[in-house]
Amino acid sequence: MALTRAKKEQLIAQYEEGMASAEHAFLLSYQGLDVNRDTELRSRVRGTGARYEVVKNTLALLAIQGKPLGELVDAFTGPIAVAYTDDDVVSLAKVLSEFAKDAPVLQFRGGVVSGQKVAAEQIDEIAKLPSREDLIAKLLFLLQSPITRLARTLNAVTRDFAVVLAQVAEKKASAD
């Protein structure tokens, strides 16, 4: 069944609003992936707060013209899906990489991270990075560590002073 002009315009607008304006996006070849596995992948991607869409290449190419994703024009051949997010790119890359290990038919074609073109081989490297939450936890630990040490040091001074006073009091009591 052929798409009407109105439906094509609607799809182009949907692509422009979603994947073309996304800060991070990965192109995937999914040929050979059965419906159950595709549904599972969609669910995992949604779990990271990202989106996953199977696109019509000619319409997608119209939507991404002049956008960072437009640098990947050569990758839009054959059946293509786009996973994209404006939030945590590392979580999305991890989910896709883990899924690709179990489903070798899912192949990376390339991507865009923060407006920069990324080769398909680099997506696995992005997946190995610590997540945003891990980095925030490490930063908080590093910021909190000097304050904790200062508090312990100040507490040790008062504790040691109290111990000395107790010993002096003991000495005076035993001398009497």
Q: Between the CA of residue 174 and those of 53, 161, 167, 168, what are the distances in Å?
A: 84, 20, 10, 10
Q: Where are the domains of the chain?
A: 5-129, 130-176
Give the Cα separation of 42 and 37 in Å (integer): 9
- Comparing 90 with 2, which gets the higher pLDDT? 90
Give the model confidence (pLDDT) of 33-42 as tens digits.
899 999 999 9
Confidence check: pLDDT of 127 > 60: yes
Averaged pLDDT for residues 57-71: 89
Fold of 5-129: Alpha-Beta Plaits (3.30.70)
Q: What is the predicted pLDDT for the residue at 158?
A: 81
pTM here? 0.73
